Structure 1
Amino acid sequence: MRTMINRCLNISLGFAVLLSVAFGQLQLTSDGAVNPHHDGDCTICHPKNQEPTLANYQTGSCSKCHSAAAVDAQIHPVFHIDLKTEGITIPTAFPQPTGDSLRCVTCHIMPVKYNRANASFLRGGPFKEEIDFCYQCHERDNYQKMNPHLSMINADGHIDKTICQVCHLDPPNPETPAIVAREMSLGMETTCNKCHALHNHEKNHWGIDISKAKEGIYTQFRKSESDNKLSLPLGPDHQIQCNTCHYVHGKLGIDDVAFGGPGDNPHFLRMPPAKLCYMCHNK
């Protein structure tokens, strides 16, 4: 069920995700692919000299640019779908699957005019939240919101490895090299934004290479780490990431945290707000 939740949430990542390449994953869209979905060449998907319609859509056209195997692995199951699964009903108005495989046009429309409010071309869209599209086929009651940061440990005290895959590509394994164990399912920003929106302070900080920021900030950052005996993770090019300021593993105790005291920390900050800003900025 939780794996299904994870995949269903991934649908909301939109067409921008389909144009991305995640390290260590199948490539979703071919390099150099031309986007024909708005103001493009209709003959990429439809016969020449004919009005483009669903009826004359040329089967396999999507695969010219997109990898069905990658979509199946990273976005939503495509192959070997059990259409008799309880709680799943594909609307009769949707183009139906072929055999036990979904078709691209089952979930997506291909409008001539691009609509920013429905960037993923979801059938029936735009939706207030793109996860609402999932409820066209899946029963809403089976997909209640779940906080993975607080759900990693079962009642018996063991790690629930299915929760790890809400964010990580693979479940934890003591024999897995650390660099592989840290690999996110869709990259740091995209993974976090499955649930969280980039708020204003994050827009002003996320992705900034602090080694090239205002003079003294990077030096202050490294000195503050040493003074506080705390390591704040940065991206491969010294970029500020979500996990630079926030710890993500809840009560597992594997994150570097110096929040201190019994007070609430609903935003999972690595340090109290009054101190966190001064890790980079002078008082």
Structure 2
Amino acid sequence: MRKSISVIATTAVFISQFLINDMVLAKQNQKDRSSPTGAAMSKDFNLHYTGKYCKECHEKIPRPGGDPFLKFKGDFNKLCGKCHNSAQGNYPHPVDIKPSAGKKGGIPKSFPLVDGKISCKTCHDLYLQCQESSKRKKMTSLRGAPFKKRTDFCFNCHNKKNYEMQDAHDQIDEKGKIYANKCLYCHVKMPDVKKDEFKDIKLVKNIEAVCQGCHVIGGN
């Protein structure tokens, strides 16, 4: 009886170890498949402007003037976020937000909105890398590049005289009044601070998406 129990226990340990090893191997293979080279990428690796990794973004190789066959149904925020969700950008810009009528009027036509919203595509021309003549440009694919100063790019849309880094959390002016327009970065409408409870608050999207609209994952 004891011998039988011992054999069963030994077999169970062997099977458990086998399954654990198999799970670890599967996880490693999954990571490998997500990498263009099948190996861990260095932080300096850039799959753009190589002509080797088209299928990282496209379901199949596109043709000029035809269907781009983009993954994520062409949602640039999701497509770019696949790799750039931990990018260390100097000036991360909110995406998936609808600019006000006043702001929208200051955005050049060469900076396209997607469904009326700012997206990665608005500032980055991802198709530059597909053009032979564009290889002299920086890999950021910023529209209108090159620029003498980084902020010159920002002034395509933002008023140079009024330029400032927008902080949605800086909500009170010098007189103690609320900046109502800043509330709308996160809220559907400005909450009534005197009577609204947490359950009454309506955000423009789920809390994770709201935060990630400005705060790059892994960044600041």
TM range (shorter): 0.3 to 0.5
**Greater RCO, CA 8 A, separation 6+:** 2
Q: Which has the higher helix share?
A: 2
Q: Which has the larger radius of gyration?
A: 2
- Per the normalisation by structure 1, the TM-score is 0.33
- Per the normalisation by structure 2, the TM-score is 0.40
